[in-house]
Amino acid sequence: MNTWPEGRSDDNRGSRYGRGSAGAQPESARVMRQVRRGQAPSPGQGAYGGAAPYAGGVPQQPSYVNGGYAEPPGAYDSGYNTGQVYGSPGGRGPGGPGDDLYEPRPAPNWRRRIKVTAITVVTVLVATSVATYFWADSKLNRDVDLSKVIDRPEAGEGTNYLIVGSDSRAGLSAEDKKRLRTGSAEGKRTDSMMILHTGSNGPTLISLPRDSNVTIPSYKGSDSGKLYQATGRQTKLNAAYAEDGPELLVRTVEANTGLHIDHYVEIGFGGFANIVDAVGGVEMNIPKDIKDTKSGADLKKGKQTLNGEQALAFVRTRYALEGSDLDRTKNQQKFLSALANQVATPSTILNPFKLYPTMGAGLDSLVVDKDMGLFDLASMFWAMKGVSGGEGKSMNMPISGNSPNGNLQWDSAKLKTLVSQLKNDETVTVSGN
Determine the Cα–Cα distance for residues 342 and 359; give it in Å rounded to an integer. 13
The mean pLDDT of the chain is 78
pLDDT at 429: 92
All residues at 6 or more sequence positions from 365 whose CB lies less than 8 Å from its CB, including other chains: 171, 267, 268, 270, 271, 272, 274, 275
Determine the Cα–Cα distance for residues 377 and 283; give it in Å rounded to an integer. 23
Q: Which residue has the higher pLDDT, 389 or 341?
A: 341
Nearest one of 153, 149, 417 to 260, comparing CA atoms: 153
pLDDT at 65: 54
Q: What confidence tens digit (pLDDT) does each residue in 243-284 have?
A: 999 999 999 999 999 999 999 999 887 788 888 988 889 999
Q: Which residue has the higher pLDDT, 363 or 210?
A: 210
Q: What confidence tens digit (pLDDT) does each residue in 222-247 have?
A: 888 999 999 999 999 999 998 999 99
pLDDT at 294: 82
- What share of the chain in percent tops pLDDT 70? 71
pLDDT at 302: 93
All residues at 6 or more sequence positions from 2 whose CB lies less than 8 Å from its CB, including other chains: 8, 9
Pairing of strands 290-292, 366-369: unpaired
DSSP 8-state code for residue 171: T
pLDDT at 16: 47
Lowest mean pLDDT: which of 132-141, 157-166, 416-425? 132-141
Beta bridge partners of 160: 197
Lowest mean pLDDT: which of 185-194, 266-275, 339-348? 185-194
Mean pLDDT of 33-49: 50
For residue 363, pLDDT beyond 80: no
Phi-psi region of 425 (alpha: psi -120 to 50; beta: other; left: phi over 0): left
Q: How far is CA 393 from CA 266, 384, 385, 388, 425, in A?
A: 21, 10, 11, 9, 13
- What share of the chain in percent tops pLDDT 90? 33
**CA dihedral over 40, 45, 49, 53, signed as positive or negative:** positive
Mean pLDDT of 144-165: 94
Q: Which residue has the higher pLDDT, 365 or 380?
A: 380
Nearest one of 275, 361, 313 to 179, comparing CA atoms: 313
Contact 415, 406 (CB under 8 A): no
DSSP string, 14-30: TT-SSTT-SSSSPPPPP
Contact 366, 187 (CB under 8 A): no
3-state secondary structure of 266: strand
